[in-house]
Amino acid sequence: MDITLTGILILICIIIYSSWDTFYRKRNLPPGPTPLPLVGTLLHIRRGELVNSLMKLWSQYGAVYTLYFGSRPVVVVCGYEAVKEALIDQGEIFSGRGPLPILEEFTQGYGITLSNGERWRLLRTFTVRILKRFGFGKKSIESKIQTEAQCIVEEFRNSNGQPLDPHKNLMDAFSNVLCAVIFGDRFEYKDQRFIKFLQIAEETFTLQTSNWGQLYSILPTIMKYVPGPHHRMIPISQELEGFIHERVKASMETLDSTSPRHFIDSFLIKMAEEKNNPNTEFNLKNLLITTHNLFVAGMETVTTTLRYGLLMLLKYPEIQAKIHREIDQVVGGDRAPNYEDRVKMHYTQAVIQEIHRYSDILPLNLPHMVTRDIQFQGYDLPKGTEIYPLLCTVHRDPKQFSSPWKFDPTRFLDESGKFKKNEAVMPFSAGKRICPGEVLARMELFIFLTTILQNFNLTSMKEFTETDITPKLAGFLNAPIHFELSFLPRKI
Ligand code: HEM
């Protein structure tokens, strides 16, 4: 019995080793640490330090290297030049979406974010067109952003200078802007359905970005059987989907196909137009999951960026004072800031750009995939290879930014103090998959930051250190530390 068991074990080891050996050695993939059977290169990633570990491997192996998530090879692309070559110069081929197992179990390939091929192309073109129609980048959405910004100013004013954590207020406000575009109305911040909706959307994002979520993405076949919070993803995603479904049903009852009121109406009209096409992608499932994608992608990201921005203004009061001066000169105190004001507010634009670069909120980007065989930087990447174009290596690329770990908005100003762009700031990624919410997020960040600073001096009892503000580069999301601040009314 013992001899048989030992024999079987040896045989299994030989099979695993030889399949791994042929699998791994026969490819002309970029170099990288040697993988082990079953766990791949997991041991090269320090616990809770995924991004830091990947950045270290960048300095060891250069601009492209290969990791193994179990037996899946993943090609990591680092630094501005290589990321630009992949996402922009070879944009079509690198436009595939790589797997994100923690979300995929729920989305099953539906929706805009995790789909590929014709489905993605159709949903993407439609979504971008409809979001534009409902105001992305236009005056109509600007007034909705201004309304929310004024509501939040009132909330902060009511705090009477007492320290508070602005996370929830910001999340309420940014979510309401999205609700206006997608559902056609805003919610009162105290509305219990809205509170519940935000809780689930936030939990979805938090789970996706947690260590559990990351481990699930690296070793899905093993993590499926390991107990842990990652198993909550399906029930909470279904709850969020249920909430959206209720809104869809309500829209159906009052739909006027000649006059769409919001994103959901437009999608329903397209579904009706294509009802005789058995292969249409405009079906209920794609509507629910695409809407789910927009909320999950669009709430926490903008909130985190602005929270990071507020933290930087507390750390550097002199930067805050300069923005105050620019607001006083360009906007004054008698009207609300608008997006057009940015053209004259070079310093404020430079600060926002530096907040994006420094905070680097999605350091890993989302996973990509090559849609056909390609030679890249001298290596052969077969169709379907997973690609991680790391935004953190672009934002900290020493060839693009001197002292990349320093927060310095003046790097985006020319000699005459005018705002100057740098293509190596790509918080929204680049190429065919670039974030479709970029225009909205940029408008929101500018209008919220200037409206808050038009009304308040920001102060904190705590003195923040360099360590407090430095991004932790632990995982999928770079969130700032927990902090509180006081909003002291100012007179212009
Ligand atoms: C500061 C705020 C934001 C940041 C930093 C950000 C960043 C990103 C990044 C890095 C990606 C991955 C792009 C890629 O795969 O190459 C992405 C995708 C996406 N974002 Fe955003 N985003 C923000 C706000 C928003 C907003 C407000 C929305 C919704 C209106 C949104 C919706 C999406 C969607 C749907 C995708 C998937 C696109 C696709 O796969 O074609 N994002 N975002």
* 245 and 309 fall within a common domain: yes
* 17 and 83 fall within a common domain: no
* 167 and 18 fall within a common domain: no
* 7 and 146 fall within a common domain: no
* 163 and 285 fall within a common domain: yes
pLDDT tens digits for range 314-360: 999 999 999 999 999 999 999 999 999 999 999 999 999 999 999 99
Query: What is the share, in percent, of the chain residues with pLDDT greater than 70?
Result: 95
Task: Return the higher-pLDDT residue of 189 and 356.
Answer: 356
Name the closest-CA residue to atom 18, ligand 1: 435
* 106 and 39 fall within a common domain: yes
Q: Atom of ligand 1 at shortest distance to CA of 367? A: 15
| Alpha carbon 226 to its chain's center | 27
Distance 482 CA to ligand 1 centre (A): 24
| Cα–Cα distance for residue pair 65/54, rounded to 1 Å | 10
- Token pair for 221: 């076949």
pLDDT tens digits for range 425-471: 999 999 999 999 999 999 999 999 999 999 999 999 999 999 999 99
375-385 residues labelled b (16+ CB within 10 A) or e (exposed): ebeebebeeeb
Average pLDDT over residues 413-424: 96
* 144 and 8 fall within a common domain: no
Name the closest-CA residue to atom 20, ligand 1: 435
* 5 and 115 fall within a common domain: no
Q: Could you give the C-alpha distances from 4 to 7, 12, 13, in angstroms and in order?
A: 5, 12, 14
pLDDT tens digits for range 108-140: 999 999 999 999 999 999 999 999 988 776 778
Distance 433 CA to ligand 1 centre (A): 8
Show Cβ contacts of residue 208 under 8 Å, excluding neighbours closer than 6 positions: 100, 102, 103, 233, 296, 476
The confidence band for 473, taking pLDDT boundaries of 50, 70 and 90, is: confident
Pocket lining for ligand 1, CB < 6 angstroms: 97, 112-113, 124, 293-294, 297-298, 301-302, 305, 361-362, 365-366, 427-429, 433, 435-437, 440-441
The confidence band for 16, taking pLDDT boundaries of 50, 70 and 90, is: low
Q: Supply angle C-alpha 266, 185, 281, rounded to 5.
A: 25
Q: Atom of ligand 1 at shortest distance to CA of 368? A: 15
What pLDDT score was predicted for residue 261? 92
Name the closest-CA residue to atom 41, ligand 1: 433
Domain of residue 388, residue span: 31-489
Count of structural domains within the chain = 2
Task: Return the higher-pLDDT residue of 229 and 440.
Answer: 440
* 290 and 234 fall within a common domain: yes
What average pLDDT is seen over the chain? 91
Handedness of CA 273, 278, 284, 288 (dihedral sign): negative
Q: Atom of ligand 1 at shortest distance to CA of 442? A: 1
* 81 and 11 fall within a common domain: no
What pLDDT score was predicted for residue 402? 95
Task: Return the higher-pLDDT residue of 48 and 438.
Answer: 438
* 319 and 466 fall within a common domain: yes
* 330 and 471 fall within a common domain: yes
| Cα–Cα distance for residue pair 327/345, rounded to 1 Å | 8
Return the CATH number at 271: 1.10.630.10
